[in-house]
Amino acid sequence: MSNLYFLISGLFCIVLNLVLFFSKERVDTKETKIYGYMLISSFLDVLLVIAEISICYHNFSEDTFLLLTILNKIDLIHYIVWPSLLFLYVYYITYKENIKGYLSIKNKVILTGILSAFIEIFLPIKLISQDGVMGITGYAPSFVYIVALLYILGIMAILLKNLKKIFSRKYAPLLVLCVLIVVAAIVRAVNPTLIIIPSALVYIDLIMFHTIENPDVKLIEELNLARERADRANRAKTEFLSNMSHEIRTPLNAIVGFSNSLLDDVENEKARDDAKYIINASENLLEIVNGILDISKIEANKIEIVNKNYNMEEVLDNLVALSKARLGDKPIEFRTNFSEDMPKYMYGDSSRIKQICVNLLTNSIKYTKEGYIEFKIDSVIKGDVCRLILSVEDTGIGIKEEDIDKLFEKFGRLDLEKNISIEGSGLGLAITKKLVEMMGGKIVVQSEYGKGSKFTVALDQSIVDAPEIKEEFDISTIVKHEYPGKKLLVVDDNKLNLKVAEKVLEPFQVIVETANGGDEGIEKIKNAEYDLILLDDMMPGKTGVETLKELKSTMETFKTPTIALTANAISGMREKYLVDGFDDYLAKPIEKDELKRILGKYLQDR
């Protein structure tokens, strides 16, 4: 009777396990399906054995002998099915995919199972009864135990082959389960009337459910994996975008450089117009590429906020001049309204503040046909902190209420029927928002569709009283743009870039020498005197930063002003290069005015 109690508690367990397993949302993997079959197989076997015991207990006679034999043979088939399922289960969680071959592992296991069951049916079985308790002996059970044992050995072989993973959450329970099966089989072999295996398998199913096959845990695992995969794909995409942007800037450098020199050299009016169109289109393309570079760096957490003392008046003058230039002859009144008590000198990242304002002002100019644009700054001072409330208000096309939420998403261009002719990448506001947040600020937007919009940014900056600000070189002090006799060295790994540099430097009448890569650059610098060095940073082999470091460490007399030249031109790069030991920084494509500034600053005799 104790067998029956065992089995009834087993039945209770397996029913609970079945309900829990099948009522939950499951991950659709091969091993989970197999586990489902294992549960069903265990459930049917427990029912079968309960029936066997009941029949045996009430009527073990000639009449029931055939029926009991058949039931026992089916029971034995379960001892082939269940271990083979466990074998497949372990195989799938270990190898995920089938070993290549004529038959898949699943088919091999099914075939072996059918063959073993077939053999088992024809092998003799002996039923024994002791005090109303039935046991079996003979070739049939012995054969089945051997087959089952082979599967268990197979499982152990897989587990031991993957010993490294064995202590993971997945494998450790399986190893314990194998031992449990063997113990159950030994007990049964020693005492054939102790019907322990069906219940043992049920408990093993239950342990598996609570360790490795819990649908909730598997779902979370699967979600984590999916998130990891998505993150990886996103990182790869960001890296790709950033590399592509860099690659695009190199040929763009050639396009802008040669178009500019065409503009200088060619008399023909039409050709000059064409050159202007090329430059204009390149500048638009450059803006898009810069946006992609910026957003990808922000997303990869590669952008830092570089705080230093700055002159707010200078920043604002710059912004106003730039906005007026961008407005051109559009019938728009440009209003400024800067708070009187705003401190002149502050401590913060002025280049990011500039970038934020430029983005907002450029948008207002782009999306406004007529009316006004007001650039306003209020300041609230508390102790030595000044809260800047910057706003840009326009009478432009406005933004639909339902679009406001999408405004700060990257690549989110809105109202395309109206905006189709306005160039943009949909990155400006995404970058702006991220930068504002990186500086601990907030950005909000108010807009009425068809009437206009107002973007407001609140940011805290520290106030500095008597700042030590290195005065910027004033471009207006340049008296001439020709420097005959001055010797320049341009170091770049790209031959086309070297040609462009020679071309853009031509009007300045300097002597230009070129070096192909860092090593050649070092060689030349060691053997000749130069007045200025333009050193590309991103070079294979030795980067610009490495080249400069080597120069400084190996040549004590090295004092030549060195300018970092790079296509990796996101804002904030200048500060980075200054920290790296460069004297200044020039972005590719080289802008004429920037080049004038650099040459004036370092070549003009003062």
> Which positions lie near ligand ADP, rule CB under 6 A?
363-364, 367, 394, 396-399, 407, 412-415, 419, 424-430, 453
Which lies closer to ligand ADP via its Cβ, residue 250 or residue 355?
Answer: 355
Q: How far is CA 356 from CA 173, 252, 305, in A?
A: 56, 25, 13
Distance of CA 291 to the CA centre of its chain: 18
Which lies closer to ligand ADP via its Cβ, residue 217 or residue 445?
Answer: 445
Which lies closer to ligand ADP via its Cβ, residue 388 or residue 427?
Answer: 427
397 DSSP 8-state letter: S
Distance CA 518, CA 539 (A): 8
Q: How buried is 295 (Cβ within 10 angstroms: 0-12 exposed, 13-18 middle, 19+ buried)?
A: buried
Which lies closer to ligand ADP via its Cβ, residue 251 or residue 424?
Answer: 424
Least distance in angstroms from the C-beta of 396 to ligand ADP: 4
Least distance in angstroms from the C-beta of 285 to ligand ADP: 13
Least distance in angstroms from the C-beta of 291 to ligand ADP: 7
Least distance in angstroms from the C-beta of 355 to ligand ADP: 12
Which lies closer to ligand ADP via its Cβ, residue 147 or residue 429?
Answer: 429
Distance CA 358, CA 355 (A): 5
Residue type, 46: V
Can you list the pairs that 50-54 forms with residues at least 24 positions away whose Cβ atoms lie under 8 Å? 50/4, 50/7, 50/8, 50/11, 52/134, 53/3, 53/4, 53/7, 53/133, 53/134, 53/195, 54/4
Alpha helices in 367-516 (DSSP H): 416-419, 428-438, 495-505
Distance CA 452, CA 50 (A): 80
Least distance in angstroms from the C-beta of 235 to ligand ADP: 22
Least distance in angstroms from the C-beta of 293 to ligand ADP: 14
Least distance in angstroms from the C-beta of 405 to ligand ADP: 11
Which lies closer to ligand ADP via its Cβ, residue 126 or residue 454?
Answer: 454
Least distance in angstroms from the C-beta of 305 to ligand ADP: 21
3-state secondary structure of 459: strand
Which lies closer to ligand ADP via its Cβ, residue 173 or residue 412?
Answer: 412
Closest CA to 208 of 486, 384, 13: 13
C-beta nearest to ligand ADP: residue: 424
Q: Is residue 47 within 8 Å of 11, Cβ to Cβ?
A: yes
Distance CA 372, CA 337 (A): 13
Which lies closer to ligand ADP via its Cβ, residue 448 or residue 472?
Answer: 448
Q: How far is CA 53 from CA 66, 121, 179, 337, in A?
A: 14, 21, 27, 95
Least distance in angstroms from the C-beta of 233 to ligand ADP: 23
Closest CA to 571 of 291, 239, 319: 291
Closest CA to 90 of 35, 47, 45: 35
Closest CA to 564 of 546, 64, 555, 554: 546
Least distance in angstroms from the C-beta of 15 to ligand ADP: 59
Least distance in angstroms from the C-beta of 415 to ligand ADP: 5
Closest CA to 338 of 300, 377, 308, 310: 377
Which lies closer to ligand ADP via its Cβ, residue 199 or residue 368?
Answer: 368
Which lies closer to ligand ADP via its Cβ, residue 42 or residue 359?
Answer: 359
Task: Tell me phi and psi for residue 245, to 5 degrees.
Answer: -60, -40
Which lies closer to ligand ADP via its Cβ, residue 417 or residue 529?
Answer: 417
